[in-house]
């Protein structure tokens, strides 16, 4: 994958349930993809006014969008968008056909060579988006996509379904782990305590664990759904 990124010719589409999931799962990929002059597009499906247990008050959708914008700009990504600006944790209330149609439009307009979607996790938005992505990415004509893979979320291990039967792909992010953590910290409203997986220490620990698995310093792990050699 490193060689693919370094050719500077990939069109990488990352689809995220919420603002911060894109960094948690693909922060290293976003930074490296942009650094090597690939076209990286990040799509966040939903933000909105929502009360988090770790926050005293409600965090507005506008704050989430602002944090997302700051994180993308820090990583050098110029192409990003939010699909629903007031539907955080409510994707299961939207007709599935509407979500799939929006995803199909994004895929057709962008013509990606690589697509990264979230593992389903236990959260309803993650499940809805995962299933909608599978529908939108179903085999069809005139597809330029040569890699479809799922990225992990720190809490995705708390889920009944495992993905041991898929191919595993590791991206070495040893050179960019600190940038990944700094980008996550742009999502100020989402930072948890150090004993929580969604924290700077949690992110670094998971990346180090994935690095151990693959003989790297730090890594991001992806689960291959489809890979085509051209």
Q: Is 139 exposed, middle or buried (0-12, 13-18, 19+ CB in 10 A)?
A: exposed
Query: Looking up tokens 């597009």, which residue turns up?
Result: 41
C-beta separation of 139 from 171 below 8 A:
no
What is the number of other CB atoms lying within 10 angstroms of the CB of residue 230?
5
Phi-psi domain of 89 (left: phi exceeds 0; alpha: psi -120 through 50; beta: other): left
Beta bridge partners of 226: 148
Q: Which residues in the chain land under pLDDT 70?
A: 1-4, 51-56, 141-142, 158-165, 230
Predicted confidence at residue 98, as pLDDT, reads: 98
Predicted confidence at residue 155, as pLDDT, reads: 77
Predicted confidence at residue 26, as pLDDT, reads: 98
The helix/strand/coil state of 161 is coil
Predicted confidence at residue 3, as pLDDT, reads: 64
Regarding pTM above 0.85, the answer is yes
C-beta separation of 172 from 212 below 8 A:
no
- What is the assigned CATH class of domain 2-227? alpha beta
Residue 52 CA to chain centroid, in angstroms? 20
Predicted confidence at residue 16, as pLDDT, reads: 97
Predicted confidence at residue 139, as pLDDT, reads: 87
Predicted confidence at residue 143, as pLDDT, reads: 75
Residue 104 CA to chain centroid, in angstroms? 17
Helix then strand then coil, in percent of the chain rounded to 5, is: 40, 20, 40
Distances (CA, A) of 209 to 33, 128, 217, 221: 22, 28, 9, 10
Predicted confidence at residue 161, as pLDDT, reads: 62
Cα separation, 5 vs 10, in Å, equals 7
Distances (CA, A) of 131 to 39, 94, 115, 117, 196: 25, 13, 14, 10, 27
């Amino acid at each position: 994958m490193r060689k693919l990124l370094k050719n500077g010719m990939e069109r990488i589409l990352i689809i995220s349930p919420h603002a911060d999931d894109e960094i948690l799962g693909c922060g290293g990929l976003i930074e490296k993809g942009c650094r090597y002059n690939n076209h990286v597009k990040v799509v966040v499906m939903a933000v909105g006014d929502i009360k988090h247990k770790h926050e005293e008050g409600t965090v507005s959708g506008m704050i989430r969008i602002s944090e997302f914008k700051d994180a993308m700009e820090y990583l050098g990504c110029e192409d990003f968008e939010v699909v629903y600006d007031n539907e955080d944790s409510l994707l299961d209330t939207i007709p599935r056909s509407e979500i799939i149609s929006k995803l199909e439009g994004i895929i057709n307009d962008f013509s990606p060579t690589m697509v990264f979607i979230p593992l389903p996790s236990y959260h309803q938005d993650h499940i809805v988006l995962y299933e909608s992505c599978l529908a939108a990415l179903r085999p069809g004509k005139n597809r330029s996509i040569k890699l479809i893979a799922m990225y992990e979320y720190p809490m995705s291990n708390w889920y009944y379904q495992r993905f041991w039967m898929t191919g595993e792909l590791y991206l070495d992010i040893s050179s960019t782990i600190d940038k990944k953590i700094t980008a996550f910290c742009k999502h100020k409203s989402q930072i948890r305590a150090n004993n929580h997986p969604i924290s700077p220490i949690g992110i670094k620990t998971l990346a180090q664990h994935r690095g151990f698995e693959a003989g790297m310093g730090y890594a991001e792990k992806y689960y291959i759904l489809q890979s085509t050699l051209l």
